[in-house]
Chain A
Amino acid sequence: MSTVEPHSETGARHGGMRLHVTVAVVLTVLTLIAFGLAGTGALPHFVLIPVLLVMALGQIALQVLYYMHLKWDSRTFAGFFVAALALAVVIAVIGKTLAER
Chain B
Amino acid sequence: MSEAMHTTPAPDGGPAGPPVLPTPAETTKLGIWLWLASDCALFASLIATYLTLHGQTAGGPTAQQLFDLPLTLVSTFALLLSSVTMGVALEALQKDDIAALRRWLVVTALLGAIFVGLEIREFHHYTVSGLWFQRSDFASSFYVLVGFHGLHVSFGIAWILSLLIFTFRKPGGITRADHWRFEMMSLYWYFVDVVWVVIFTVIYLLGKVG
A residues sitting closer than 8 Å to B (CB atoms) are 5, 7-12, 14, 16-17, 20-21, 24, 27-28, 31, 34-35, 38-39, 41, 45, 48-49, 52-53, 55-56, 59-60, 63-64, 67-69, 74-77, 80-81, 83-85, 87-89, 91-92, 94-96, 98-99
Contact = CB atoms under 8 A, between A and B. Distances in A.
B80 interface: yes
B44 interface: yes
Nearest to B199: A56
Contacts of B206: 38, 49, 52
- Secondary structure type dominating chain A contacts: helix
Interface residues of B, number: 61
Interface of B: 1-3, 23, 25-26, 28-30, 33-34, 36-38, 40-41, 43-45, 47-55, 69, 72-73, 76-77, 80, 83-84, 87-88, 90-91, 94, 176-177, 179-180, 183, 187, 190-191, 193-194, 197-198, 201-202, 204-206, 208-210
Given A38-B209, A52-B205, A99-B55, A9 B37 contact: no
Contacts of A67: 83, 87, 190, 193
Nearest to A96: B51
B51 A77 contact: no
B79 to A, nearest CB: 10
